[in-house]
Every structure is written in C-alpha cells, then in structure tokens.
Copies of this chain bind each other. A is one copy, B any other.
Amino acid sequence: MPLMTAEDYEESLRQLNLVVYMFGKRVENVVDDPIIRPSMKAVAKTYELAHRPEHEDIMTATSHITGKKINRFSHIHRSVEDLVKKSKMGRLLGRETGCCFQRCVGMDALNALSIVTFNIDEKYGTAYYKRFMKYLEYVQENDLTCDGAMTDPKGDRSLPPHRQQDPDQYMHVVEERKDGIVVRGAKAHQTGAVNSHEIIIMPTIAMREDDKDYALSFAMPSDGSGILYIMGRQSCDTRKLEGDTIDRGNVLFGGHEALVVFDDVFVPWERVFMYKEHDLAGQLVENFAAYHRQSYACKVGVGDVLIGAAQTAAEYNGVAGASHIRDKIVEMNHLNETLYCGCIACASEGHREPSGTYNVNVLLANVHKHNVTRFPYEIARLAQDIAGGLMVTMPSNEDLKSSETGKWLEKYLRGHSDIPTENRMRVLRLIENITLGTAAVGYLTESMHGAGSPQAQRIMISRRVNMGEKQRAAKKLCGIDEKE
C-alpha cells in the first residue's frame, strides 16, 4: 500500500499496541483520546494530501528503489528539485494544519541514514547500506510514519556518555546476542511518537572510542516490547477535553511530544544501522540535523496561518485599513518570506552525497533554522499587537452559549457589525492558540529548540563559513601582504 489514505492510516494505528501514559495513567485507546487525536489528524493530513491531484507533485515522489509512486515523506532525495519540493511540502502542510504535523523527523532520519550507512560501509567494509535499503523499501511499500529519535536526556551536560553517573542517560547497548542487541535508554521530546509506526534511533552527539557502546542507530516498531511513552503536556492541552469548543482555537489539529523509554529492548540485527562505529556518530548527527533544520520550512506555513488570522482579526476589529496595521502585516509577511528564502536556498544549493542522496547546504540550513529561533517570536508579537487585548480577556465558549451571559457577549464583543461575534472570537482564539496555547509549543518553543537550540546553529555557522577566504579578500583590498 505505497500510498495509504488518511483512513487507512488511522486504521493502521488502531492495530498497534502502544504503551502510552498520560496524567499518570495508561491510555487505553490512543487513537481516540481527545488530547492525542488532533495530533493524529495532523499526520493523517500528510496521507490525505498525497491523493489530491493539485498537490501530487509536491506530496509524492517516485521511489528510486521500486519505481513506484510513494509519499514524499518516505522518499530519499535524488535531486536538488527533490530538496526544494521538500521545503514546499513543509510550508504547505504547516499552512494546512497550523501546527506540527510530525512526519518530517522520520523522513530526515531515513535520508541521513541513507548517506551515513553508505559511508560506514565505505570505511569499514560493512553492509549497513544494503540492510538499510531493505528497511527503507519496507517503509516505502507500507507508507509508514517513522519517528526519528535523536535527543537523549543527557544528564550532566559537561560529561560524555560513558562518564555519566547513570549510564542510561544516553541510549546504549547492554547486551549483544547472536540475533541482535538489547538496548536501554530514553529519547526526549519525541514529536508525534505515538502516531508513528516505527521509531528510528540515532545518537545525539559526536562520540569517541570510549563512548562506542552509545554509537547506535536502529529501527523498531513503535509498539515493540519494552518501549513505553509518557506524553508531555502542552499549554492549554486540556481545552481539548472541553468538547467541541471554539476555545481550542485550532479546532482541527494539534501536535504532541512524548518521552520514550527503552526498557531493555531487543533489536534484531537486520534493523541495526550503526553499531559502535563511534567515529561516524557525529556525521549522522550532523546530517540529520541539517535535514531537520531545513524541515523548519513548516513554520513558514504556520506563519501563513497566523498572518491570515491577524489580517482577519484586523478586518473583524474594523481596523484593517489603518496604516500601522497594514505596516505590521507587511512586516509579518516580510519576516515569514525571509524564512522561506532560507529553506529554499539551503535546498537549491544542495549537493549529491556519495550514496547518491542529495543533501542540503549545511551552512544555509543552519542559517535558516537560526532565523526560525527568532522571527516566529516577532511575528507572534505582531499578531498579538493586531489582535488586541480581547484575545486574552475574552470569556469562554460556554459564556457565549449560556442563556445568562450569551446576550452580553453578543452585544459587547461584536466588532465589525457584519461579522458574527462568534467568528471574531474564533479567530482571536486561533491567534491565542498559536501564540500562547498548544500550537505555541510548536510555533515558538519548538522553533527555538527543535532540530537543535540556537547555540547549536551558531557553532555550525562558525564552523562552516570560509573565514580564510574572507580574510584574504579583506587583506588584499587594504594592501596587507602577509605571505602566509
């Protein structure tokens, strides 16, 4: 089933036997849980759009393994054009869902592994690439959603993995068997974890010889034995428990993150893609990070939603024509399109890796992500400016529906007279959702820390710019001849 429908996808999740905890209790029915379900619907959108003719070019690709049409999320980029389409797919889905649709981490993990497994084999004569390609075909053929899992808890950040007081602070092998390995550890901040069929583990930092037990990459079915999930809570998460209410802001979609615990999990050899090749751990981290920094193209799409909401709020408030409002809308668009330039440029300047996979320009991908740690905050600030204070002082949906208070809200919260008060409230709740509520987790804090915190990008930027070239140019122009 290389192209599942949204319905197929939902049904496939029902077949899983995930061990998920939330608010201290086991979640019996994950798919229908009111807090989790909107995040599942966001992933389902990645399946739905692949069937829409108008999005086919962006959402699907031709597998270089099977030649079949597949969802781009399980595709290995084979050209610069593929990379550019990936950025466009991110923006499209961000705009369609207004939140994190979660499926890019898996795509980025698959692409990074397609490069690094090849390189390990080149260096060590191993056969990871072939093994990985078989796994990849399985993913493509079944149109699976994968969680790409990188971030370990890390414990004391000043110490390497093998010197941690608690050796499990980084995922590691605890037993080697004939048929596979047993691993222990955890991965934090796992976006969309419980909406995934597979989880792909990667190391979280570059490693030395001493850390070789931590230099691991492998894939597991998400409901593999010994894997458990503890849901993270988000700002305003429980509004989803309040029923079909406008107070949710985004009434359709959401995201989620979870802490994933590997409590001595057995992994068969055919699913192991790196095993103690510590010297290539850093390469895997860096490639995944670069791809994933590009993936923040999605925030441009969420930005589209927020700009559209701000413009709508301005119209409903009756002030859309004021010059300062128009100017703020321009500024929001300017910042949002500057972000778009970043994700397009790092793709457009992509290159071919030895495995044949196309990779982004690492410097520009980092530059892009670094802007993502800044501009959404300013866009959000401007959206709040335009929305007005009512966004945070507005009574609840139940007050609007109440026979006692509804009439007062209808009367006194009406803005532009042609617009139903409810619609005004709806759009303000959407702005609240993206700037303070569940979606702010994705649009703001995840923009800050996802795919690496700002300082991680600054380090990469400092490593990747060619300072020698710049200094030579400067010295030549001012007449310094140093005979270096």
Contact = CB atoms under 8 A, between A and B. Distances in A.
A352 interface: no
Contacts of A479: 246, 251-252, 426
Given A233-B396, A385-B448, 10 more contacts: A96-B473, A156-B417, A251-B479, A307-B470, A330-B458, A333-B461, A333-B462, A341-B342, A341-B346, A344-B349
Most B CB contacts (10 A, CB to CB) among A21, A308, A370, A475 go to A308
Contacts of A304: 469-470, 473
Nearest to A371: B338
A232 B392 contact: yes
Given A373-B385, A377-B377, A448-B385, A23 B188 contact: no
Contact of A392 (B235, B404, B416, B458): B235
Given A24-B402, A235-B392, A473-B96, A153 B478 contact: no
A388 interface: yes
Most B CB contacts (10 A, CB to CB) among A311, A329, A405, A454 go to A405
A477 B389 contact: no
Interface string A16-47: 00000111111000000000000000000000
A318 interface: yes
The 6 A-B pairs of least Cβ separation, nearest first, read A308-B470, A24-B402, A389-B449, A24-B398, A308-B474, A348-B348
A157 interface: yes
Interface residues on A, range: 35 or more
A324 interface: yes
Interface string A459-483: 0011001010111111111111010
A389 B446 contact: yes
Contacts of A390: 188-189
Counting every copy of the chain, the complex holds: 4
Contacts of A377: 377-378, 381
A142 interface: no
Contacts of A330: 458, 461-462
Interface string A397-423: 011011011101101111111000001
Interface string A225-267: 0001011111110110000001101111100011101000000
A477 B305 contact: yes
Contact of A465 (B249, B333, B414): B333
A348 B374 CA distance: 24
A405 B232 contact: no
Nearest to A331: B458
A384 B236 contact: no
Contacts of A347: 348
Contacts of A477: 97-98, 250-253, 305, 430
A157 B320 CA distance: 11
A448 B389 contact: yes
Interface stretch (A108-116, A120-128, A214-222, A437-445): A437-445
Given A230-B395, A453-B388, A471 B411 contact: no
Contacts of A401: 24
B427 A475 contact: yes
B23 A399 contact: yes
Contacts of A144: none
A238 B166 CA distance: 37
A453 to B, nearest CB: 7
A323 B330 CA distance: 14
A312 interface: yes
13 contacts: A23-B399, A25-B398, A98-B477, A165-B417, A259-B413, A304-B473, A308-B471, A309-B478, A311-B471, A341-B346, A344-B345, A384-B445, A426-B480
B391 A470 contact: no
Contacts of A367: 334, 337-338, 340-341
A99 to B, nearest CB: 9
Contact of A455 (B96, B246, B324, B436): B324
Nearest to A317: B157
Contacts of A374: 381
A326 interface: yes
Contacts of A473: 95-96, 98, 304-305, 308
A236 to B, nearest CB: 6
A103 interface: no
A24 B165 contact: no
A168 interface: yes
A21 B235 contact: no
Interface string A336-374: 011011101111110000000000000110011011011
